[in-house]
Amino acid sequence: MTIHSGSCLCGAVKYEIEGDFEHFFLCHCSHCRKDTGSAHAANLFSTSATLKWVHGQDKITSFNLPATRHSRSFCSTCGSALPCKQDNLLVVPAGSLDTDLSIKPNAHIFVASRAVWDKELESFPAFELYPS
């Protein structure tokens, strides 16, 4: 059984996931773009993995967008995205993991909502560190 560990940016919240992920999607919907402040959210999904909070569970805040299925959990100290349960589905922000993933994203989803500036990003210069 695979075990992943993760945390928030400030380290106030730590968690472990035991089990496998069925899907890894890059979501371009407007809710996920607002959530992340970026081009897309990178989320892992599992119906069988279990989530264990190692510490900092009292620092977790959750938000459910009314009249939608969109919800998120985050650290109340630093605002970092954290795993959340939606009915029988565990949603884990890939960037919150501290362990390496052996899987790659399955697909981009909700591309009809993709930001206008999110096109051909691979064609732009790439830097290993902050450009000087």
Helix or strand or coil: residue 39?
A: coil
Q: What rounded mean pLDDT belongs to the chain?
A: 93
- pLDDT tens digits, 46-92: 999 999 999 999 999 999 888 888 889 999 999 999 999 988 999 99
- Statement: residue 121 has pLDDT above 90: no
CATH number of this structure's domain 3-116: 2.170.150.70
> Given this model, what pLDDT does residue 87 score?
84
> Given this model, what pLDDT does residue 90 score?
96
Tell me the DSSP string of 61-127. Answer: EEEE-TTSS-EEEEETTT--EE-EEETTEEEEEGGGBSSPPS----EEE-GGG--TT-SSGGGS---
Domain positions in the chain: 3-116
This prediction's pTM = 0.90
Question: What residues have CB less than 8 Å from 119, skipping those under 6 apart?
Answer: none
Helix or strand or coil: residue 22?
A: coil
The structure tokens listed for 7 are 């945390």
